[in-house]
Amino acid sequence: MIVDLLITLVKILFILAITVGFFAPVLTWVERKQSAVMQDRIGANRADILGFTALG
């Protein structure tokens, strides 16, 4: 009985880890894009210094 409970707990933790592992980077990306839009910033690939784009 206790073994079944432990197996179920491990399965739940595994599914939770996979879910968080997928959504954390996506939510970070969305948050950064939202902040950039609110602050009216352009990305690094569109910024230039004295007319020259740096690695973009």
Does 53 fall in a domain? no
Question: Helices marked H in the chain — which ranges?
Answer: 2-38
How confident is the model at residue 55, as a pLDDT?
A: 62
Residue 51 lies in a domain: no
Give the number of domains in the chain.
1
> Using an 8 Å Cβ cutoff, are 56 and 45 in contact?
yes
Which pLDDT does position 49 carry in this prediction?
73
3-42 residue pLDDT tens: 999 999 999 999 999 999 999 999 999 999 898 888 887 7
Domain span at residue 27 reads 1-35
CA–CA gap between residue 16 and residue 20 (Å, rounded): 6
- This prediction's pTM: 0.53
**Residue with token string 């592992």:** 21
Q: Does the residue 3 lie in any domain?
A: yes
